[in-house]
Chain A
Amino acid sequence: MDVRDAGFQGNLDADQSESQISHLALDIGGSLIKLVYFSRNKDSPIDNNKDSKDSVIEGRLNFSNFETSKINDCLEFILSKKLHLGGFRCHEAPDGDKILIKATGGGAYKFADLIKEKLGVSIEKEEEMDCLVAGANFLLKAVHQEAFTYMDGRKEFVHIDHNDLYPYLLVNIGSGVSMIKVDGDGKFERISGTSVGGGTFWGLGRLLTNCKSFDELLELSHQGNNRVIDMLVGDIYGGLDYSKIGLSSTTIASSFGKAISDNRELEDYKPEDIARSLLRMISNNIGQISYLNALRFGLKRIFFGGFFIRSHAFTMDTISVAVNFWSKGEAKAMFLRHEGFLGALGAFMSYEKCGRDDSMAHQSVQRYPVCKPIVGDKICYPLNGDLNDNGSLECSVYAV
């Protein structure tokens, strides 16, 4: 990771918190704000003299997120950690605008003024798709055991040959869903998408269950039974399979199709069941549309990312089942451990563009990849669908 000299070193003031912090990038989406920031390991002082030309800083990439509606909390967090000082200095700019922070997502436009006002830093907007793809490419190439399949509760890491990575379909499930065909670094096309995404889950879920947070809703869905609300093939066919067309009696024929019953009102349904039904509906739908698009362009791999998934086992399971069902087993859904942070990571990556020429920057990244994911400071890396996957990555920053 290449870091601009002046900007980085200038932040190494004594009064910084225990971690040495540098570089903040934001992805301000419709529902969530994702932060990626680099913190230097305490015991890894900058060694400028090791090599006459380059220097390596050991440190961690940290990941945090906030609900967009609670942007003030997010700004507080940034202030408290002084993350905003981790942008890069633009020498040409007037004094007040000297620090620029990379950001992507729609909110990068919407909240630019607010951030300027509260943090006194300017937002440098990065293209959302660019960031998503850059983030995904980085993770798939640089991080060992980043991609995995998830079927029937079993997580299986997939080793991906860097030379056989492209083309792939990247499905980013944020508030809405974008489907991007990636042909190489910086070579991609948004080919499809759907408005039925994480925002739909959370929005409808809130209206139907009075849950107070996305995570609470996800948690609920874990305990629910969608058969109470969904109309299954078996409900229509009196328990018989409709095997002629390959539908088992437990296949959902109509999501929420049982809720049409006259006798039951919203209050009569358990929020758990509603959440479950909603999650299945949305996951299944995304899986199906993704598969159809992969098929259309002959893409072997489909990677699902974005904040909707949150390493939530059931979500991944449903998407996997959908892809498996529609592809008759030929395609597999794959997930990224840092799924929610693709955009933020991409924005983070874009700092390198501010430095030397791009090709050199890339080389540096690849030469010093982050090889080992480690447990973050506070939160365990969730393999079991834990809600906070705020794991950090140990990495080396290649300082010039």
Chain B
Amino acid sequence: MAPLTEDPNPVHDIDALLINQDPNNKTEENNNHPKDKSAVLLGREENSISKNQNQGGEREMASIHRSGSRPQLDLSKAAIQGNFEEKDPTILLPNQSDDISHLALDIGGSLIKLVYFSRHEGQPIDDKRKKTVKERLGISNGNRRSFPILGGRLHFVKFETTKINECLDFIYSKQLHHGGMDSRHWNAEAPANDSAVIKATGGGAYKFTDLFKERLGVSLDKEDEMNCLVAGANFLLKAIRHEAFTHMEGQKEFVQIDHNDLFPYLLVNIGSGVSMIKVDGDGKFQRVSGTNVGGGTYWGLGRLLTKCKSFDELLELSQRGDNRTIDMLVGDIYGGMDYSKIGLSASTIASSFGKAISDNKELEDYRPEDISLSLLRMISYNIGQIAYLNALRFGLKRIFFGGFFIRGHAYTMDTISFAVHFWSKGDAQAMFLRHEGFLGALGAFMSYEKHGLDDLMVHQLVERFPMGAPYTGGKIHGPPLGDLNEKASSKISWMEKFVLRGTEITAPVPMAPPPGTTGLGGFEVPSSKGGTLRSDASALNIGVLHLVPTLEVFPLLADPKTYEPNTIDLADHNELEYWFTVLSAHLPDLVDKAVASEGGTDDAKRRGDAFACAFSAHLARFMLFPIEKELSINVTTLAKRTTLTVGFIKFSHFYMNGSDTRLKLIEEPAAYGKLGLANLLELREECLREFQFHDAYRSIKQRENEASLAVLPDLLVELDSMSEETRLLTLIEGVLAANIFDWGSRACVELYHKGTIIEIYRMSRDKMQRPWRVDDFDLFKERMLGSREKKPQPHKRALLFVDNSGADIVLGMLPLARELLRRGTEVVLVANSLPALNDVTAMELPDIVAEAAKHCDILRRAAEAGGLLVDAMINPSDGSKENSSSVPLMVVENGCGSPCIDLRQVSSELAAAAKDADLIILEGMGRALHTNFNAWFKCDALKFCESRLQIFAFDTSYNIKNIGLQLAMVKNQRLAEKLIKGNIYDCVCRYEPANLL
């Protein structure tokens, strides 16, 4: 597709999106905007093209209109996205993605913070399958509100105030300024010719009003700074799980705050200066105190004393400093003795910079590192003390520290925490916010009247860490953003830059380990108090907040508050190390597959390398590499991947060689908030998508599905020849057998082609000798078949959470579904919304079912009833089909794109489908073991809901395909032992009827 010119008229696209987002409003909207209707009804590809054609004239006008001749990045970006768009069902109007957005600014004395919302991922609602499912399940979106809630992403970006022009360029290049209060759709009363208004806070909102008007033609609508801070903090504390954490002696601990017990609290915002605000509720607050010794003091004094060129550089310096050379300690005054009578240890600072009074030393004689640290301690400690005194004064239990001074910097947080702890004698705790710097900007954003985020629920927000995230969050606009201002760069060259920058970015991560730590056993948390400084790679990552309004809490969860999806907690360093090894080892192969899935073009290769670099950088945030000597050797031997960065070579090489290199782990997972295995796996998938690899396993999945479907008829014949009881057992064995193999491996693919798949499957099935490690089959059988005299009532509806493509779905789950359908149970196949490895997706399932239905009447009738056989239906919404002789077979998406599932955030479709369900079947390691192994489901007595059937086998697992089998087996053995005291290849068939719970 030819590169598209950026659409100068975003309003048009809002129409299109609104219509797409909300089917219920479609009719009226369409009447008003017939032109858009045609666009919507066209396919996505056609849509883009037609828009392009339609607006050719406007485009030229636009280029004339623009005074600056700077070509826009979005042009080429649109083209690239267009190329890949066909593979991604969720991107509707890629070239316009960022145009439709809300922008809010916090222009402080030192930094400008931007929060903007892009309604990026419009779901194609005209998908017929979905429509049918929605009708059947009675889902209706948007009825709760007078306007539709739009899904999208909340982005966080920052610039230095002195570089405001860069910020303006950024806004301009992303056309964010058109997304303020768009008059036509967000504020019907606004005059049509009124220029856009952008919400802004911070002192600069006054100061730079004219500049914004002149450069962007927008007015700044000034929001009260305190209002914004408080609104931002309240939003974060309520809407984001694990937003707040404590930080003592280098240890982060996330704090879950009960929304009902949030107020009152003290909010300490450390910007250039410091504001202390007592917050009593939404919009109820009072500025009770503050201090002029804040971030501006640190940076200002620091600049004068050290000649650092940036705040971050200064902060970085402090990590290598020793303040004892400059600060006068109690020990210095008392000749090394503690002044214990008043509770001061010899290492307590008696006087900040008190040693600098020495006559013999000038400024040049002190190390900048030491100066920076001394300054940091002085200011942090002072803020902590004043904050505590104010909390005490008003009897506030919690003190939250936010603002840009902190920047996730461990030492700063430690010092503040220490001060609060010290002065309160342990009674009070300092807490920090992950989005610390963006409170004001977020609050300004919240002040848009109809953003639809007011009553946002926690489960509707998903935080993702796109490629820029490790840097944009911690640095003042990272590499991706920095390049936005350069001349017409295509997406690809932008990525090349990213790859280059990757070297610089990963460089600070491997720091020399503190002395005395060796190997894995030597893991220790260095204390950051006193003189010893831990080598901290610094900032927390701030991801992009994805607002997905359709996400809901899975209604059958017994207790959503205590539910923890992750069976494996990566806070366990052994687990972290293991999964890090697995993911690192798998990376090169994943890159190969991903590149192949895009046709192996040069472009794909570049993107593959960029992906590897980005994901490695993410992983690097968790890990620390101590071995620099080996590194230099390995870099040369690995030269074949020449385009890769040093950073990546490091990662791939160690693990590809199966080297016994020891890892030094640091507790950086906290950089991403509380992170479980599910999140880590999803991070990888997101990272792939970020680099336009929408389905790396596409062709593999296709081959596997075809091969399995070819032998399905034989299997069905075999099954039908069995007695009811034998058949049930065979079906369960079949699910286990189909799940146990890693069909992604080459050997298995070969077998598919030779048509011997059914033989392997049968062989494997025969090996499933009972009793399994966990074997509730008899219990399940009794529920299904009953005893001789009493035939049980069939389940009303079963939810089958499916796993892999190929044999797993075709030969394992489909036959089981067929059996349930035959017994009069409605079956809902629950599959991923987005691809994750070789997992089958909700988009792929209808085709698979349709193919299978060609050979099976039961499946065909059920699929027809469930609206899956689109071609066969003359009118999908025709009521007569409802009277079909069969119970329906349906497909719903689960709302995620990860090999695991977090049941707190599932699609509204799935939530609706769950309401009538009385049987849940979870299959596969990702969803039944790595997550949800310990989950409890609610049983509604009235519905006679039986809780769940978990079926899975310990297999070589999707994520260890390319490691030596030895490692995988051993490692999985460990997992097997840990959870069920079992061995590799052990099978688990856990069944928990409702009445047992």
Q: Residues of A at under 8 Å CB distance from B? A: 29-31, 67, 69, 105-107, 109-110, 127, 129, 174-176, 178, 190, 192, 194-200, 202-204, 206-208, 210, 214, 229-231, 233, 235-238, 240, 242, 244-245, 251-262, 265-266, 269, 274, 281, 284-285, 288-289, 292-293, 295-296, 326
Contact = CB atoms under 8 A, between A and B. Distances in A.
Contacts of A288: 289, 291, 386
Contacts of A261: 162
Contact of B273 (A110, A214, A254, A260): A254
A255 B297 contact: yes
A253 B275 CA distance: 9
Contacts of A237: 203, 206-207
A175 B292 contact: no
A269 B327 contact: no
Interface string B340-352: 0110000011111
18 contacts: A30-B328, A31-B354, A192-B385, A196-B351, A202-B357, A203-B353, A236-B204, A254-B273, A256-B297, A256-B300, A257-B272, A257-B296, A259-B300, A259-B303, A259-B304, A274-B304, A285-B293, A295-B393
Contacts of B272: 231, 236, 253-254, 257
Given A29-B333, A207-B371, 8 more contacts: A106-B330, A199-B355, A254-B292, A254-B295, A256-B301, A257-B294, A281-B292, A293-B389
B349 A266 contact: no
A275 B337 CA distance: 33
B328 A199 contact: yes
Interface in B191-208: 202-204, 206-207
B276 to A, nearest CB: 11
Interface string B751-790: 0000000000000000000000000000000000000000
Nearest to B208: A238
Nearest to A175: B351
A203 B354 contact: yes
A74 to B, nearest CB: 15
A117 B226 CA distance: 62
B940 interface: no
Nearest to B203: A236
Contacts, number: 226
B747 interface: no
Contacts of B423: 192
B167 to A, nearest CB: 15
Q: Which of B109, B362, B366, B381 has the most CB of A within 10 A?
A: B109
Contacts of B348: 195
A289 B389 contact: yes
Interface residues on B, range: 35 or more
B113 to A, nearest CB: 14
Contacts of B297: 254-257, 281
Contacts of A203: 326, 328, 351-357
Contacts of B162: 260-262
A198 B385 CA distance: 18
B357 A254 contact: no
B540 to A, nearest CB: 23
Given A69-B358, A293-B389, A208 B296 contact: no
Nearest to B309: A262
Q: Which 6 A-B pairs have the closest CB atoms?
A: A236-B203, A106-B333, A199-B354, A257-B296, A254-B296, A199-B351
Given A109-B335, A292-B386, A253 B378 contact: no
A175 B293 contact: no
A245 B226 contact: yes
B505 interface: no
Nearest to B375: A204
Contacts of B341: 127, 129
B359 interface: yes
B390 interface: yes
B299 interface: yes
Given A30-B351, A326-B289, A207 B300 contact: no
Contacts of B356: 202-204, 206-207
Contacts of A230: 292
Nearest to B365: A207
A240 B207 CA distance: 10
Nearest to B301: A256
Interface string B936-948: 0000000000000
Interface in B297-330: 297, 299-301, 303-305, 307, 311, 326-328, 330
Contacts of B207: 236-238
Q: Which of A233, A257, A326 has the most CB of B within 10 A?
A: A257
B922 to A, nearest CB: 54
Nearest to A204: B353
B717 interface: no
A366 to B, nearest CB: 28
B109 A199 contact: no
A256 B326 contact: no
Contacts of B352: 195-197, 199-200, 203
Given A106-B334, A203-B357, A296-B389, A176 B226 contact: no
A236 B292 contact: no
Interface string B378-403: 10011001100110110000000000
A266 B363 CA distance: 11
B110 interface: yes
Nearest to A267: B304
B979 to A, nearest CB: 51
Contacts of A265: 304, 307
B332 interface: yes
Contact of B390 (A254, A269, A292): A292
A229 B366 CA distance: 23
B440 to A, nearest CB: 12
A199 B335 contact: no
A276 B909 CA distance: 66
A202 B423 CA distance: 26
A254 B307 contact: no
Given A203-B355, A207-B363, A110 B333 contact: yes
Nearest to A129: B342
